[in-house]
Structure 1
Amino acid sequence: MKQLDELKLKYIISLLENMEYGSLNITVHAGEITQIDKTEKKRFTLAKVNKS
């Protein structure tokens, strides 16, 4: 495996390890990874309001 490929794989793994919710889109052109798009979602819990 080429060194550049190892760098790309390490980058992809680091993105996945640090993502809680979201998606990772990897674009390949002529057998080579040319672009990586990361969409991450952050979810917040809503505090319940007591109606008295």
Structure 2
Amino acid sequence: MIDNSEKKAVSHNDCKSQDTIILEELVQCFKNIAYGEVVVTIHDSRIVQIERREKKRFPPEK
């Protein structure tokens, strides 16, 4: 049987792993966008969604 301290350790490690995944996703969004925006949705102090809106820019024709 798992006592409360072990449950907290397990859930803390799961959160840390999810935090790492979220940070990696954010870094990739920033690296792979030239023009646009990254929108982070937060519920109850937790990131629940990341949106990337990219704009494609083309030079004017001469």
Q: Is TM > 0.5 for Structure 1 vs Structure 2?
A: yes
- Equivalent residue, structure 2, for 1:33: 47
- Structure 1 residue 25 displacement after superposition: 0.5
Higher relative contact order (CA 8 A, sep 6+): 1
Distance, in Å, in 1 between the alignment partners of 2:49 and 2:43 is: 9
Distance, in Å, in 2 between the alignment partners of 1:14 and 1:25 is: 13
Matched pairs, number: 48
Q: Percent identity?
A: 35
Unmatched 5+ stretches in structure 1? none
Structure 1 runs of 4+ with >3 Å offset: none
Query: Aligned pair 1:46/2:60, yes or no?
Result: yes
- Structure 1 residue 37 displacement after superposition: 1.2
Unmatched 5+ stretches in structure 2? 1-14
TM-score, normalised with respect to structure 1: 0.84
Query: Aligned pair 1:22/2:36, yes or no?
Result: yes
